[in-house]
Amino acid sequence: MRAFSRLLDDLTYTRSRNAKLRLIGEYLRSAPDPDRGWALAALTGEMDIPSVKPSMIRALAEEKIDPVLYKISRDFVGDSAETLSLLWGPEGHDDVRLADAVEALQAASRSDAPAILAGLLDRLDASGLYALITLAIGALRVG
């Protein structure tokens, strides 16, 4: 997930279309299968994780974080995924393979998905949290 979250960060802060294409190409050349395929699906908007919805993300946030703090922070930051990634808790230091995260969430039922997602989020740093949340709800915006 670190390489994918680094790609998303780099794409966010890169203005040039050609530079963005270069970054994507470099990632796709270096990423192992099936991470490369999942990344391509996510970047093209073709990925669907039906067990994860924005309402589930909000419910997870309100379980883990004081609801008033979350609401105030969300209003200030303006993005639920970014807010949650900053407030989730102590940064995890594990790396989760993109394919492992996607496959676990796609196989999860709606009732199991919150626990699976929370377990994955606990293992990631803030950039990884942001990448996984935006990926899971289909909200990648990289220009």
Tell me the per-residue pLDDT of 28-71, one tens digit each, with 9 for 90 and over: 999 999 999 999 999 998 999 999 999 999 899 989 999 999 99
State the SS3 of the chain: CHHHHHHHHHHHCCCCHHHHHHHHHHHHHHCCCCHHHHHHHHHCCCCCCCCCCHHHHHHHHHHHCCHHHHHHHHHHHCCHHHHHHHHCCCCCCCCCCHHHHHHHHHHCCCCCHHHHHHHHHHCCCHHHHHHHHHHHCCCCCCC
What's the pTM?
0.90
Question: What domains sit in the chain, N to C, each tagged with a CATH number?
Answer: 1-143 (1.10.3260.10)
Of 141 and 143, the structure prediction assigns the larger pLDDT to 141
